[in-house]
Amino acid sequence: MNGNVVIKSFPNGISVKLSDEPDFEKILQDTKNSFEKTASFFKNASIVLRFEGRSLKDAEIEALTEVITKVSQINIICVVCTNKNDDIYFSKLLEEIEKKPVEEPPKPKGGCFQFYKGSLKDGFSLETEGNVIVLGDVLKGAAVFAKGNVIVLGTIYGTVFAGRKEDNNRFIAALEFSPENLKIGKVKYQKDKKELFTLNRKQPKIAYIKKDKFTFSELDFTKELPEYNFN
């Protein structure tokens, strides 16, 4: 490793901090060299790859993941970039989630959360038996149905259902809420004009059920997260 590329591991993932000073070709070569040196340690691992410290274009992300896979034989489940301020909130949220104990049934692929990279478009439906993180928006006409918790690293414009029918102890988190439909367990979200105006302010929020009603709270990482159900 060198000063331009710093590799650190976290549960089920690898964080790669890139310097924003050298040109991309230098960063690409230094990344290759760094992962060649650690190839035996990460060999055949299935991980979430997280880039930090540098704004990356799609083509640059593709080039980096290609060279990492080639020299280290890592199985990359998904890629997360934290070069936007909004993503910092959810990086902290994920770190808190990773601290939570997860009991049986066994964890789904990718740890205690499954990942979907990209925005869900009109007519697309994503269903999962556990928890899910969407790395993009849930657009109008799209839907997410999860029996666990749902985190959207973007805006919810469409439909998101979390939890089984009788399980109200789940949450939905997003950078921004402007939903068509929300449901946690058996409780449906009833739109309120005043509340909807507040939701549309760009501030990461978490939705959960309190006294059989939807409650939205701004994510404040100066405080501990409530004890939600992460199993």
Phi, psi of 34 (to 5 degrees): -65, -45
| Portion of the chain with pLDDT greater than 90, in percent | 17
118 contacts: CB under 8 Å, gap ≥ 6: 135, 136
- Does residue 61 sit in helix, strand or coil? helix
| Structure confidence at residue 162 as a pLDDT band (50, 70, 90) | very high
Average pLDDT over residues 40-47: 70
Higher pLDDT, 89 or 18: 18
Tokens 């591991």 belong to 9
CA distance 89 to 48: 18
Q: Give the global pTM.
A: 0.53
- Residue 82 CB neighbours (<10 A): 19
Cis preceding-peptide flag for 105 (omega within 30 of 0): yes
CA distance 155 to 117: 14
CA atoms within 13 A on the CB side of 192: 11
Average pLDDT over residues 78-88: 55
Higher pLDDT, 160 or 40: 160
Q: Is pLDDT at 50 greater than 90 in this prediction?
A: no
| Neighbour-count burial of 183, counting CB atoms closer than 10 A to its CB (0-12 exposed, 13-18 middle, 19+ buried) | buried
